Structure 1
Amino acid sequence: MHVRLALVLTLATAFIGLYAAQDFLWQRGRPPANFFEQVVWALTFFWIFPVLPSLLACVGMLLHRPPRETPLLPMPIPVCFRVVSRGQNAAVLRETVLNVREQMSRLRLFPYRIEVVTDIPVELAISDDLVRLVVPTDFRPSRGTRFKARALEYARCQSNLPTNAWILHLDEESRITPSLIAGVRTAVLEEEESGRFRIGQGTILYHRNLRRNPILTLADSLRTGDDLGRFHLQQRLGVTLFGLHGSFILVRNSVELESTFDVGPAGSITEDAWWALVQMEHGRRCRWVDGYVVEQSPETIRDFIKQRRRWYVGLVKCVLHAPTRLRYRLPLGLTLFLWSVSWIGVLAMYLDLIAGQSTLPVVRVAGNFSFAAYITSYVFGLKMNLDNLRPRPWLLRPLRLPLYALQIALIPFFSIVEALGVIYGLLSPDSGFHIINKPGRSDAVTPHAWVHVRAAAAVACLLTGVIVASHLPPTSPLAQAVVHLPSVTGFASTQRSPSLPTSVAPVTLPEQSTGNRMQAAMTAAGFQGGVTLYVDSAGGGQQDLAWSAQNLFQRLAGLGANSVGVAFPVFMAGVAASTVYTDPQQTPTTGTLSTIIDAAHRQHLAVMLRPILDEQTLMDPQGDWRGTIRPADARHWFASYGALLRQYAQIARADQVEVVDVGTELNSMQGDAAAWRNLIADVRAVYPGQVTYSVNFDFQQLGFADALDFLGIDAYYPLNVPEGASVKQLESAWLTWISDLNRLGAMAGRPAVITELGVRSEPGAHLKPWVWYTRAVPDMGEQQRYYEASCSAVSQAVAGIYWWLVTLDSPYADALHDTSYDPLGKPAEESIKACFSRWLPPLTTRRRG
């Protein structure tokens, strides 16, 4: 019971640990931002495929019980240990024969004999318990069977074993254990009593070379875990759903004589699986045999990969050509299909490491469960190997914990090597039978351990570098160095990621500029991290405007911002008016704007100038707003609005403003693309910088988007989660809208920048972020959680964010009792700092003035 409890705890710990690791590495996970990441996102669906075999493996491990240690009486039924080998590893064969004799002398529970079947003669000491069978070179089975199957068929035909004897098939390096002897005795007696004569198989351990070859020995812990999981379950069910191993097959001689190993060339690569399928077709069933056989892992990574390649290619041939009904081949075919695509899931996992993208919750659960079961199979397999390891002075109990830690740490390396075996089989389906080198104890061997340690360390360093690189801000020096590599530049020119746009950069400043050259370079490098200042007074509403602006922008720069939007109102006399005008009291003057722009540049903040059509004279009970204006004379309206924009374009040119926003949320006017193109052309005629337009989040089409440098989006998306929702819930709610953000950018064919994002600091503000006129009790946590979740959700889907909004009075003295959008002086201010610190480098250049 304690083993099962440990198994459940391991599985649960791995499952929860994967979530914790993912949340630690990527506090948000982000949606795919370009075509390449869309492909990676689609590939993550391959994580769902291993769920069924993982579930079966967990069930099998939970049902497994260690062999019982009870006194047993000898039985009269003979057992033959049949060892098949090509004969090239003579020393290993001699050790195997010696091992059988030693173990049987200690626990003689049945009469036995050893049969050694080889292709070439091997010098073995003559003994009554040993029969040597050498396959003649001219032995040709009728179906052209080759390799090990040919030797098995020869032994089947030539052995003089009685029909009631049982045969335990072993490989040349197999070592039997007392538990195996007891398990064979129990299984034989049960089958003789029932008359069913089922085919038996049990667990194979791989701890023999743990000291000399620890890395690949640990890699084969998965095979032991698989025996205790999937293979144990199939033996309990009595049907070989996943085939049989070529070693540790217990079969009655009468059953073997009724069958054949003449399986033809197609079945000669994995003759064990082919033979098992045929036995199922003939009505034979299988069973579990308690006890352990100990074998040896491959000595080199090359042998490891070639071994997996041989298994894969051989099983494909079994599924395609075995002479059985489809229902017997289908489970193995499904398993083989999952194995065939497993490397895609591994590839997706490592590609996703680079970006830390979000996945669908069901995919994440499935992937984490499958990987947790994968980890558990390794750990459970290692436990069984260590529990059955002979006491050795160098392997003390305190070393168990480091071995478990090493086992888990190397799983990424093992998964790559396992995947390479499949890929090798797909690319080079060699029909040969690769024999791996398995030296004996007396052989002089190269100490491979450090070779494998170096290989594993190289993979670990690569993965660490990938993770570190994925956490660098796009504007970091290292990220920029990579972007400018020749091999990267060509790719980047065709795959412009929204997180690293090339067209979003403000125009290079003229030589006479003294304010913001460094900040312009920062914005050119990548992410626009800004806050919008709203100025609704001709003089800025401050006695000392320059001092107020300086204090505000110093505070924003301290948060890590590299940009600021300067928004101000212009007016219409009603929704049907055809003239746009400035108000002498509420629209800032040219001097006011210049003072504010200069103060921003002194703090190295790039400036976006935003005249916004004010809604004071537009809103009415019918629900009109700036997005529903309907001028009586649209042509006159464009002429009036264009004249106003040209004035601000001239101010922008004089003050070296980086971006001019030519319109905000004018939904009803966006359909006249020709008029907007003319308006934008007039602005560009007097202003050399960047031009954008801010659409409302619900727009569908913008016919003049190609005339812009980037698309602005006022992202007041409703997040449909309850009041008081957590950051995680808000992030999940954002996922609904990320595809819409991607759609807007793709439709425009331009990078997308969120020009307005924010909520009021009041309960449930995330449900209707656009509502600015409510009166409710303050809720600082609502605003803070929204800012944190929004940054996590959208930062890498767009080329910039401008939080809405602050004023020259910010922060207010009673900020913690204020319910407005203004985040300064509130907990949300720290969320802004955390957001910008992730995407923007610190300002290290000394500020002017």
Structure 2
Amino acid sequence: MRASKTATPDRDAWHHRDAWLADREAQATGQPQVTQTVSGPRQARGPHRGLARWRPGYWPLILSYLVVVASDFWFVNPFATGVLSWPLTVLWTWPIITTITGIVGIRRTRRTLRESEARWSGRGVTVSAGFLIVVVPTIGRNDTYPALKRSVQSYLTYLPPCFPRLRIDIVIDEGCEAADRIAGLAARSELIRLVVVPSRYHTANGTKFKARVTNYSHELRIHERENRDDVWVLHMDDDTGVGPDTALTMARFIEEQFEAGADAKHLAQGVLTYPREYAVNTLTWLADSVRPAEDVGRFSAWTGSGTPRAGVHGELLLVRASIEATIGWDFGPRSIVEDAQFALIFSARYKGRSAWFSGRCYGASPAGLRDFVRQRERWSWGLTALVFNRSLQLRNRLLLGYSVASWVVGPITNVAVVMTLSILVAERNTSPVALFIIPFWALNMAYTIWMYWEGLRLNAVVSGDGRRKWWEPPVVILLIPVFGMMESIPGLRGSMKFARRTEHRFMVIRKPS
């Protein structure tokens, strides 16, 4: 049965869900029970001290810039150009807009942290009057269940003190592999509701994969009249947990919106971090240093400015339910990066209404190099499709196209590749066509070094001992060319698959527990 764009979901689906809930509620007794706390992320010192420890620093950027620019001027030949000069002038200068945006984001992040600290200093735990619904879609495989269990336990542990009005919706497909185990997990607390998406459920636009089940839960909230201004939906991945800092900063953000009146924000995003304890592969964990750095840099600049044109990620995404109801998740069968598409539609409709907050969520890096490549390939595939999606606002697609282009050409701009190519063509001169280009090259390289240096620090702060191991900083810097290839080759492959019209696949990687 296919629903129309305005129709509510299948009535039999409500009966199936309500019967299951009635059976579970008949067996539930007492207050919500938390049988186990989360191990891993470092929470012992409390949210205030933890928040203060990870303010992004300028010095790695400044020091890297001075070293790189001095080295470039030392080795460059100002009186000669070679066959590689023009291509490198264009390609190595191309990411400068992303670099400048990231630096603006660093400044915005530091200012936001400083203002929040001053505003909430001495107030203790904030209790929000808003109703928070945590939505956790999961593919429901046995190999992803341990990570789901860990994440759900973190919600039960840390969110209730700040959100007396709370519900956790675990969303699964009917007949999924780990359905019984997930049902058992849901039965542990009255705060958890299991939402089962019937196999016969279809959206009006034929949306598939994660967006399909997310849209089902969205339509369910509309049906239950929870699409109100005082209801906030927190979207989380099934391997991503929270801590006390997450709950506190979200509660403060929501309370600020109650006070803001007509200037209130409708969407907010925090920081995705990767505790060392959740990593099963050191190489992919080090490579993922770039992701929290992007959150406090480029994503902070765009989302924090009020318009998330750079996109959002699908975890720690906080959206007002009444606003989400106007957008939904029914983006069609070709959508495999639904979070980015949601952000671009939001940017067009609600300019100036997004915010960035300092709370962190705690996820796991891909379990191996193969999963890392598959993850990046899917992102590139989906983002390239958005660039050519004419239903989206053109200026937003142009910015996205600029970012995707920077990603796709990565294999030929990699320093190691350029050095190898210069040897093969017997052209040792890699100088730019003009000396004034060198500061731009140096700034791009310095920002890349900053991302891995600072991202590693963020991931270490949330890990068990709260610090980097002595060998990690030099290794993460030395491996930047390797990480560049790990990122860019899947980026190129994903774009090529879109160009060849290859059938879409939504590949769910393994979730380390």
TM-score class, shorter: 0.7 to 0.9
Deviation at 1:211, TM superposition (A): 6.0
- Alignment counterpart, residue 132 of structure 2, candidates 69, 79, 86: 79
1:681-720 equivalences under 5 Å are: none
Task: Name the structure, 1 or 2, with higher relative contact order (CA <8 Å, separation 6+).
Answer: 2
- Alignment counterpart, residue 280 of structure 1, candidates 347, 354, 361: 347
- Alignment counterpart, residue 46 of structure 1, candidates 84, 91, 116: 91
Counterpart amino acid of residue 485 in structure 2: I
3-state secondary structure, aligned to 1:238: coil
- Alignment counterpart, residue 124 of structure 1, candidates 178, 184, 187: 184
- Alignment counterpart, residue 169 of structure 1, candidates 232, 235, 253: 235
* 2:227 is the alignment partner of 1:193: no
Distance in 2, Cα, partners of 1:147 & 1:322: 22
Deviation at 1:20, TM superposition (A): 5.2
Distance in 1, Cα, partners of 2:482 & 2:168: 39
- Alignment counterpart, residue 103 of structure 2, candidates 53, 58, 61: 58
Deviation at 1:334, TM superposition (A): 2.3
Q: Which residue of 1 aligns with 2:488?
A: 419
Distance in 2, Cα, partners of 1:5 & 1:173: 25
CA spacing shift, 1:406–1:353, aligned 2, 3 Å: farther
Deviation at 1:228, TM superposition (A): 0.5
Distance in 1, Cα, partners of 2:412 & 2:371: 22
User: Would you say the 8 A contact 2:309–2:347 is kept in 1?
Assistant: no
3-state secondary structure, aligned to 2:127: coil
Distance in 1, Cα, partners of 2:399 & 2:315: 21
CA spacing shift, 1:305–1:363, aligned 2, 3 Å: farther
Deviation at 1:253, TM superposition (A): 1.4
1:408-557 equivalences under 5 Å are: 408-429=477-498, 430=502, 431-440=504-513
User: Would you say the 8 A contact 1:200–1:250 is kept in 2?
Assistant: yes
**1:411-451 deviations in Å (ceiling 9; x for gaps):** 111011111111211333342111111132xxxxxxxxxxx
| Structure possessing the higher radius of gyration over alpha carbons | 1
* 2:153 is the alignment partner of 1:103: no
User: Would you say the 8 A contact 2:265–2:355 is kept in 1?
Assistant: no
1:654-733 equivalences under 5 Å are: none
- Alignment counterpart, residue 218 of structure 1, candidates 279, 283, 286: 286
CA spacing shift, 1:87–1:56, aligned 2, 3 Å: same
3-state secondary structure, aligned to 2:253: helix
Deviation at 1:389, TM superposition (A): 2.2
TM-score where L is the length of structure 2: 0.77
- Alignment counterpart, residue 385 of structure 1, candidates 459, 477, 485: 459
Distance in 2, Cα, partners of 1:404 & 1:389: 15
TM-score where L is the length of structure 1: 0.47
* 2:68 is the alignment partner of 1:18: yes
Q: Which residue of 2 aligns with 1:370?
A: 444
- Alignment counterpart, residue 303 of structure 1, candidates 356, 371, 388: 371
Deviation at 1:322, TM superposition (A): 5.3
- Alignment counterpart, residue 251 of structure 1, candidates 301, 319, 338: 319
CA spacing shift, 1:419–1:328, aligned 2, 3 Å: closer
Percent of matched pairs sharing the same residue: 26
Distance in 2, Cα, partners of 1:325 & 1:315: 14
- Alignment counterpart, residue 380 of structure 2, candidates 296, 308, 312: 312
Deviation at 1:294, TM superposition (A): 1.0
Provide the alpha-carbon RMSD of the alignment: 2.7
User: Would you say the 8 A contact 2:132–2:234 is kept in 1?
Assistant: yes
Distance in 2, Cα, partners of 1:60 & 1:411: 22
Distance in 2, Cα, partners of 1:184 & 1:3: 19
Q: Which residue of 1 aligns with 2:207?
A: 145
Q: Which residue of 1 aligns with 2:330?
A: 262
* 2:244 is the alignment partner of 1:181: no
Deviation at 1:365, TM superposition (A): 2.4
Deviation at 1:204, TM superposition (A): 0.6
Deviation at 1:345, TM superposition (A): 1.9
Q: Which residue of 1 aligns with 2:431?
A: 359
Deviation at 1:339, TM superposition (A): 2.4
- Alignment counterpart, residue 113 of structure 1, candidates 164, 167, 179: 167
3-state secondary structure, aligned to 1:417: helix
Deviation at 1:21, TM superposition (A): 5.1
CA spacing shift, 1:365–1:353, aligned 2, 3 Å: farther
Counterpart amino acid of residue 359 in structure 1: S
Counterpart amino acid of residue 251 in structure 2: R
Distance in 1, Cα, partners of 2:341 & 2:265: 19
Distance in 1, Cα, partners of 2:68 & 2:278: 28
**1:458-493 deviations in Å (ceiling 9; x for gaps):** xxxxxxxxxxxxxxxxxxxxxxxxxxxxxxxxxxxx
CA spacing shift, 1:211–1:307, aligned 2, 3 Å: closer
**1:356-408 deviations in Å (ceiling 9; x for gaps):** 424122333222210111110111111222222233xxx7x5x5442111111
Deviation at 1:140, TM superposition (A): 0.7
- Alignment counterpart, residue 157 of structure 1, candidates 209, 219, 226: 219
* 2:478 is the alignment partner of 1:406: no
CA spacing shift, 1:116–1:219, aligned 2, 3 Å: same
Deviation at 1:63, TM superposition (A): 2.4
Distance in 2, Cα, partners of 1:260 & 1:216: 33
Counterpart amino acid of residue 508 in structure 2: I
- Alignment counterpart, residue 336 of structure 1, candidates 394, 401, 404: 404
* 2:198 is the alignment partner of 1:136: yes
Distance in 1, Cα, partners of 2:279 & 2:367: 12
Distance in 2, Cα, partners of 1:4 & 1:371: 22
User: Would you say the 8 A contact 2:275–2:464 is kept in 1?
Assistant: no
CA spacing shift, 1:353–1:192, aligned 2, 3 Å: farther
CA spacing shift, 1:29–1:211, aligned 2, 3 Å: farther
- Alignment counterpart, residue 91 of structure 1, candidates 141, 146, 149: 146
Distance in 2, Cα, partners of 1:156 & 1:426: 30
Distance in 1, Cα, partners of 2:312 & 2:390: 14
Counterpart amino acid of residue 238 in structure 2: E
CA spacing shift, 1:353–1:294, aligned 2, 3 Å: farther
CA spacing shift, 1:220–1:353, aligned 2, 3 Å: farther
CA spacing shift, 1:31–1:5, aligned 2, 3 Å: farther
**1:727-761 deviations in Å (ceiling 9; x for gaps):** xxxxxxxxxxxxxxxxxxxxxxxxxxxxxxxxxxx
Deviation at 1:143, TM superposition (A): 0.5
Q: Out of 39-48 and 174-183, give the one that drifted further.
A: 39-48
Unaligned runs of 5+ in 2: 1-51
Distance in 1, Cα, partners of 2:55 & 2:393: 40
Deviation at 1:79, TM superposition (A): 0.8
3-state secondary structure, aligned to 1:413: helix
Counterpart amino acid of residue 203 in structure 1: V
User: Would you say the 8 A contact 2:274–2:462 is kept in 1?
Assistant: no
Distance in 1, Cα, partners of 2:326 & 2:54: 40
Distance in 2, Cα, partners of 1:352 & 1:55: 29
3-state secondary structure, aligned to 1:428: helix
1:197-208 equivalences under 5 Å are: 197-208=265-276
Distance in 2, Cα, partners of 1:227 & 1:312: 18
User: Would you say the 8 A contact 2:65–2:442 is kept in 1?
Assistant: yes
Deviation at 1:4, TM superposition (A): 11
User: Would you say the 8 A contact 2:131–2:163 is kept in 1?
Assistant: no
Bigger fraction of residues in helix: 2
Deviation at 1:28, TM superposition (A): 6.2
Deviation at 1:314, TM superposition (A): 0.7
